[in-house]
Structure 1
Amino acid sequence: MKKILLLSIFFAAIGAHGTKSLAQEANYDESKVPAYTLPEVLVTQDGRRVNSVTDWETKRRPEILALFSEQVYGKTPTQKIPIRFEVTDLDRNALGGKATRKQVRGYFSVDKAKYMDILIYLPNRVGEPISREPVPVFLGLNFAGNQTVHADPDIAITQNWVPAWKDPGIVKNHSTEESRGTRARRWPVEQILARGYGLATVYYGDLQPDRADSFNAGIHPLFFQKDQARPADDEWGAIGMWAWGLSRAMDYLETDQEVNSKLVAVIGHSRLGKAALWAGAQDERFALIISNDSGEGGAAITRRGYGEQIERINTNFPHWFSGNYKKYNSRENDLPVDYHELIALMAPRPVYVASASDDQWADPKGEYLSAYHARTVYALYGKNTLSTDTPPAVEVPVGQKTWTGYHMRNGKHDILLYDWTHFMNFADFHFGKKQ
């Protein structure tokens, strides 16, 4: 009887201190969004107002970047490790002559055990020599291996661990021939090439497996101190690692004479949209940044308390963010930043945010509002942005010719040709004529 009583008290205490919010249904009711005050983007931590680009770049921007680094994604190591790139495949007549295909392996360790594979398609223009002008490129991570983005039989199949997605061709967490092209709907390669853009992609599992026990399985150990087994609370989680990988792919693209490395757009969907945003915030070489359905910890305003929230994401995916981010479980208002400031870190570079109507978990309105509330920083640079705090109707893109674009596609959590079409339209405006 005493044991039962003690257990009852124990579980009552748990319910009163943090897990109650996990038992509740996610809020999908706008009328239940709490009143909130966003952190001031243009007010420094000591209360001074920022009125110039110089003050933004030398004072406020470094403050915000440090807060995201320490409290959200974790610090990216400043330590450099030797990386060697090797072109493992070059086909000038890929996809029936439409493309030049390159496969590049980037080795992170001397023993070659740690590496990432970059798949690159560049457009071939009929009647023009291969030695054409360098082309702009979209760079993004993929979820299940490079071979899934297209049915091209010559793409190397990843040998690394793959999550147990429901896609065909995954057997015991490894990819088989059947996995070729299974996610081609998310990567409209031919349409991207036809628009004059190249595509580069890396399997995110090359960098770190997407599972909670993975800190010793990816690139993290290359940066550990002696006897360290996992990142410290203020050090990077998986999203930080994936963002780092995007920058390392950019390192290669800068060496490729067929790529216009000044015109590289970094793109990501869902958790990889979070990684794309964090990569764009840290690495100013990316000329354009695209977030698709990135939600909590990505583009969405966390203080809205709508859809996925901090405690839920930290519980379901404890490896994604820094240990410090868990301090804000059910305490969104205590977080010293919000995600409009993440968008603001991209300024003056263009940013496109996309949502889906049935993906309320990612809070489409909150994603839109982040792009909108970043406007004050873009204004310092004289850049026009989204002009209203009212999101547009479904499939009515806005800001296509401004520095912050947005659309909400009809449908579910996904990235489809509709999304890519508007991403390319946005890219056309910002660097299409500079090709």
Structure 2
Amino acid sequence: MAQTSVLPNPLIMNSGKLVKNAKQWYKVRRNEIFELFSREMYGQAPERPSNLRFEVVEEDKKALNGKATRRQVVVYFDGTNAGPQMELLMYIPNQVGKPVPAILGLNFWGNHAIHPDPYIRITKSWMESGRNNPYVNLNCVVEHRATEACRGINAAQWPLDTILARGYALITAYREDIASDNPKQGFSTGVHTLYPSLQSRDDNFGTIGAWAWALSRAMDYIETDQAINPKKVAVFGWSRLGKAALWAGASDARFALVISHESGAGGAKLFRRGVGENIRRLCTVFPHWYAHNFNKYMDKDTLLPFDQHYVMALVAPRPLYVGSAVDDKGADPAGEFASVVAVDKVYRFLGTEGFPAQTMPPLHQSIQGKIGYHIRAGGHDVNLYDWQQYLNFADKNLR
């Protein structure tokens, strides 16, 4: 496992001086780190659009046999019906007082895929296809478009009944509504079409950055919805969407809690270990994910002047949870855990509990301070055990 003593110290400012107090962290060092990652890795994100508009297009206050209120909201990024837009799918528990805490996260295969509810609007956005997907059966996709047969194909990763029973709303949106994850499409769809000038720069607005930006736009809507407590919203993501959730939490302090599940390289794991997925693979297999500037770090993983514990430091002192799986070798679970240990010093510097352990816990043992971590059996996936730990952590920090 990487030794945290050899990692760059997030508490040392660009001047070479050590951060003296919390005020200096917030006024100087935190801004330095955010500017560094905006320039070198995730790209410069635009401000909230001045003409951002929301429209509730469907609502049922007795959805799921009365357990929840279902609300479907279109977010028009440029304010026009013809422009780029994403659809939010919301389920709000009915048996608890309002406003409720919420979990917000992007999904991989469309809002209609997270539950078989026949009233969820089927996405019109591009959909990947193929017969070898290990998580869902995409035989329902016809010419890269979802069909009625695609309903509920991803429900196993989204235990909606459990989330509602614990008193949380679930809010989700489809990644392809926001920005293409197909390298062949480049930046020709979604929000990227609104900001062409950003793509001519080396600190361009990549797809991970676009997804994170859209999570903030969802938060803009949430602040207008009286059923949701905007001070108690957790942002969640798995895999590449876990990378986006972490950057969203780092970028937007309105998120009260951040859950980055099996996010691996470019998410929670340390590059400097030189283990698992590396920067060269990220920049060549997924050239649309990060800013062009990130290419200059290919084959220099172990020599980076920064690492992902810096991104986690931007979340501090808000609660942060990282989840791993023992067989998820590409994500390097030991590297994800090493980041958790490395950022503990920032949390403690800011006066919180941080992470109350220094060694990897055994399987299925959640360690929770202001930072939480677990590693479970199995591979790259999201299952009920994971959600149970995240809901327990949310109970501890949002209730």
Fold agreement, TM-score > 0.5:
yes
Q: Gaps (5+ residues) in structure 1?
A: 1-29
Task: Tell me how far apart the structure 1 counterparts of residues 4 and 218 of structure 2 sit (CA, whole Å).
Answer: 41
Equivalent residue in structure 2 for 1:179, among 135, 140, 150:
150
CA shift in 2, pair 1:215/1:90, >3 Å: same
* Paired residue type of 1:278: W
Q: Secondary structure at the match of 2:215?
A: helix
Matches within 5 A, 1:56-75: 56-75=25-44
CA shift in 2, pair 1:81/1:221, >3 Å: farther
> Would you say 1:413 and 2:380 are equivalent positions?
yes
Structure 2 residue aligned with 1:193:
164
CA shift in 2, pair 1:79/1:336, >3 Å: farther
Equivalent residue in structure 1 for 2:112, among 136, 140, 147:
147
Task: Tell me how far apart the structure 1 counterparts of residues 303 and 46 of structure 2 sit (CA, whole Å).
Answer: 26
Displacement after TM superposition at 1:34 (Å): 10
CA shift in 2, pair 1:35/1:305, >3 Å: farther
Equivalent residue in structure 1 for 2:324, among 355, 358, 364:
355
Displacement after TM superposition at 1:51 (Å): 2.4
* Paired residue type of 2:186: S
Matches within 5 A, 1:308-387: 308-387=277-356
From the CA coordinates, give the structure whose radius of gyration is larger: 1
Task: Tell me how far apart the structure 2 counterparts of residues 58 and 35 of structure 1 sit (CA, whole Å).
Answer: 25
CA shift in 2, pair 1:231/1:144, >3 Å: farther
* Paired residue type of 1:137: A
Q: Deviations over 1:152-181 (max 9, x none)?
A: 000000000012253232222111111101
Number of equivalenced pairs:
391
Structure 2 residue aligned with 1:112:
82
Equivalent residue in structure 1 for 2:178, among 207, 215, 218:
207
Displacement after TM superposition at 1:335 (Å): 2.9
Displacement after TM superposition at 1:336 (Å): 2.8
Structure 1 residue aligned with 2:194:
222
Q: Secondary structure at the match of 2:388?
A: helix
Q: Is the 8 A contact 1:76 1:240 kept in 2?
A: yes
Q: Secondary structure at the match of 1:73?
A: coil
Q: Secondary structure at the match of 1:219?
A: helix
Task: Tell me how far apart the structure 2 counterparts of residues 334 and 77 of structure 1 sit (CA, whole Å).
Answer: 30
> Would you say 1:158 and 2:123 are equivalent positions?
yes
Q: Which moved more, 1:315-324 or 1:329-338?
A: 329-338
Q: Secondary structure at the match of 1:374?
A: helix
Q: Is the 8 A contact 2:159 2:384 kept in 1?
A: yes
Displacement after TM superposition at 1:312 (Å): 1.1
Task: Tell me how far apart the structure 1 counterparts of residues 13 and 3 of structure 2 sit (CA, whole Å).
Answer: 25
Q: Deviations over 1:280-314 (max 9, x none)?
A: 00100000000000000000000001110110111
Task: Tell me how far apart the structure 2 counterparts of residues 388 and 231 of structure 1 sit (CA, whole Å).
Answer: 45
Q: Secondary structure at the match of 2:41?
A: helix
Equivalent residue in structure 1 for 2:92, among 116, 122, 129:
122
Provide runs of 4+ in structure 1 moved above 6 Å.
33-36
Q: Gaps (5+ residues) in structure 2?
A: none
Equivalent residue in structure 2 for 1:299, among 268, 281, 295:
268
Equivalent residue in structure 2 for 1:247, among 205, 208, 216:
216
Q: Is the 8 A contact 1:64 1:337 kept in 2?
A: no
Q: Deviations over 1:106-164 (max 9, x none)?
A: 11232423110000000011xx7xxx420000000000100000000000000000122
CA shift in 2, pair 1:356/1:203, >3 Å: same
Q: Secondary structure at the match of 1:265?
A: strand
CA shift in 2, pair 1:240/1:101, >3 Å: same
Q: Deviations over 1:185-218 (max 9, x none)?
A: 1110000000000000000100011011330112
Task: Tell me how far apart the structure 1 counterparts of residues 4 and 60 of structure 2 sit (CA, whole Å).
Answer: 57
Structure 2 residue aligned with 1:426:
393
Equivalent residue in structure 2 for 1:257, among 226, 251, 271:
226
Task: Tell me how far apart the structure 2 counterparts of residues 421 and 88 of structure 1 sit (CA, whole Å).
Answer: 32
Task: Tell me how far apart the structure 2 counterparts of residues 283 and 386 of structure 1 sit (CA, whole Å).
Answer: 22
Q: Is the 8 A contact 2:357 2:367 kept in 1?
A: no
Equivalent residue in structure 2 for 1:403, among 366, 370, 389:
370
> Would you say 1:97 and 2:66 are equivalent positions?
yes
Displacement after TM superposition at 1:36 (Å): 8.6
Displacement after TM superposition at 1:396 (Å): 1.1
Task: Tell me how far apart the structure 2 counterparts of residues 182 and 391 of structure 1 sit (CA, whole Å).
Answer: 34
Equivalent residue in structure 2 for 1:286, among 243, 249, 255:
255
CA RMSD for the aligned pairs?
Answer: 1.6
Q: Secondary structure at the match of 1:138?
A: strand
Q: Which moved more, 1:414-423 or 1:69-78?
A: 69-78
* Paired residue type of 2:180: P
Displacement after TM superposition at 1:79 (Å): 6.7
Q: Is the 8 A contact 1:208 1:214 kept in 2?
A: no
Q: Secondary structure at the match of 1:102?
A: strand
Displacement after TM superposition at 1:416 (Å): 1.1
The percent of aligned pairs where both chains have the same amino acid is: 47
* Paired residue type of 1:139: L
* Paired residue type of 2:222: L
* Paired residue type of 2:381: D
**TM-score (ref. length: structure 2):** 0.95
Displacement after TM superposition at 1:388 (Å): 3.3
* Paired residue type of 1:375: D
Task: Tell me how far apart the structure 1 counterparts of residues 397 and 299 of structure 2 sit (CA, whole Å).
Answer: 39
Displacement after TM superposition at 1:37 (Å): 2.6
Task: Tell me how far apart the structure 1 counterparts of residues 236 and 309 of structure 2 sit (CA, whole Å).
Answer: 18
Task: Tell me how far apart the structure 1 counterparts of residues 104 and 4 of structure 2 sit (CA, whole Å).
Answer: 38
